[in-house]
């Protein structure tokens, strides 16, 4: 399993960029932002089901990094660990504060469409059902699925970000996948076009 | 028959691929960098205020000292 990808791969390590950020280098901070914001955004959006909340989370996480850069100790944790840990805390706080109701589409859209609907739409529906199933998981399972199965972080990084043992990550992931498989099977069996509003488990 | 684990794994791959380019919109970067600029701006205005306050205090003290000297001098005159 690989750690998250570095899309711009400018060659300069996170540690070097953090040091320059701590010294007040604007460009170094901007490079860190561009390198990692996508992963933080996707994590927050899959955790909350809301693009607007995910934007707020990204902003809050990087403002925290800006303030913590001088105190950040690369020897203790990788930057991805810090960022996902911070994103997790901010996301949980937001969900608790807002007692968010996440709109979850539980319809099986295939029955609402013409039989010759395009493959792309079907695929889009399938992915939406997966997103909805992930959102309906309790947060302790949701976060490991998003981190390990979707963002591709290592079990070690996930454990450090969440603050638990690697064994806990493994067992939660196992349970989360079982729950997801069950939910997806149920969703496949549904034939109504109703939408349900469900409380996002925090 | 498809293995449920393989099916789930394939779905994860598809979702990861579909969302691989998702990122925060540009206005978020603007807001973050604006916050950076605000927190790293040189504190010119506060220096100016401090210097102006110091000059004003000095001037007030000088006026007060001169005033007291003048008043005191008059009181001592016969």
Domain residue ranges in chain A:
8-99, 101-202
Q: Count chain A–chain B contacts defined by CB atoms under 8 A.
A: 74
Name the more confident of A123 and A104. A123
Q: Check whether A30 has a pLDDT greater than 70.
A: yes
In a domain, B59, yes or no: yes
Paired tokens of A167: 């064994």
Domain A101-202 architecture: Orthogonal Bundle (1.10)
Helix axis angle for A119-135 and A26-48, nearest 10°, is 90
| Domains: count for chain B | 1
Q: Which domain holds residue B76?
A: 43-78
Mean pLDDT of chain B: 83
Tell me whether residue B65 is in a domain: yes
Mean pLDDT, rounded, for B22-32:
96
Q: Pick B64 or A1 by higher pLDDT.
A: B64
Examine residue B23 and state whether it is found in any structural domain, yes or no.
no
**Per the domain annotation, does B25 fall within a domain?**
no
pLDDT tens digits, one per residue of A117-144: 566 667 788 899 999 999 999 999 999 9
Q: Do domains A8-99 and A101-202 have the same CATH topology?
A: no
> Is the pLDDT score of A32 beyond 50?
yes
CA distance A41 to chain B (A): 6
Compute CA distances B68 → A43, A112, B65, B71, whole Å.
71, 94, 5, 5
Is there a domain that residue B50 lies in?
Answer: yes
Whole-angstrom distance, CA of residue A37 vs CA of residue A43: 10
Residue A148 is predicted with a pLDDT of: 96
Nearest by CB to A29, which of B12, B15, B36?
Answer: B36
Sign of CA dihedral A92, A97, A99, A103: negative
Question: Is the pLDDT assigned to residue B49 strictly greater than 80?
Answer: no
Residue A180 has what pLDDT? 94
CATH number of A8-99: 1.10.1740.10
Residue A108: pLDDT above 80?
Answer: no
Q: Pick the range with the lowest mean pLDDT from A85-89, A126-130, B73-77.
A: B73-77
Is the CB of residue A79 less than 8 Å from the CB of residue A85? no
Interface test with B, best of A5, A8, A55 (most B CBs within 10 A): A55
pLDDT at A50 over 80: yes
d(CA A38, CA A35): 7
**Least confident interval from A42-56, A95-109, A173-187, B22-36:** A95-109
B22, A41: Cβ pair inside 8 Å? Answer: yes
Q: Which residue has the higher pLDDT, B67 or A41?
A: A41
pLDDT > 50? residue A1: no
Report the complex ipTM: 0.75
């Amino acid at each position: 399993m690989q750690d998250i990808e570095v899309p711009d791969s400018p060659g300069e390590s996170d540690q070097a960029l953090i040091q320059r950020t701590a010294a007040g280098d604007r460009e170094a901070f901007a490079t860190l932002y561009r390198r990692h914001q996508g992963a933080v955004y996707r994590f927050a959006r899959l955790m909350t089901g809301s693009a607007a909340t995910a934007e707020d989370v990204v902003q809050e996480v990087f403002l925290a990094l800006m303030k913590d850069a001088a105190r950040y100790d690369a020897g203790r944790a990788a930057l991805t660990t810090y960022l996902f840990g911070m994103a997790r805390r901010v996301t949980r706080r937001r969900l608790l504060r807002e007692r968010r109701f996440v709109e979850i589409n539980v319809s099986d859209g295939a029955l609402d469409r013409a039989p010759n609907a395009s493959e792309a739409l079907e695929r889009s529906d399938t992915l939406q059902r997966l997103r909805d199933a992930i959102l309906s998981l309790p947060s302790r399972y949701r976060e490991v699925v998003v981190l390990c199965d979707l963002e591709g972080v290592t079990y070690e990084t996930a454990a450090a970000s969440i603050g638990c043992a690697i064994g806990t990550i493994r067992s939660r992931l196992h349970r989360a996948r079982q729950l997801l498989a069950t939910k997806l099977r149920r969703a496949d069996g549904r034939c109504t076009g109703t939408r349900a509003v469900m409380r996002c488990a925090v | 028959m498809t293995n449920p684990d393989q099916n789930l794994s394939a779905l994860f791959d598809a979702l990861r691929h579909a969302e691989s380019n998702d990122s925060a919109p540009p206005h978020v970067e603007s807001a973050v960098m604006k916050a950076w600029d605000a927190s790293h701006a040189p504190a010119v205005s506060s220096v100016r205020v401090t210097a102006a306050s110091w000059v004003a205090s000095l001037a007030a003290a000088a006026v007060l000292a001169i005033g007291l000297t003048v008043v005191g001098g008059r009181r001592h005159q016969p």
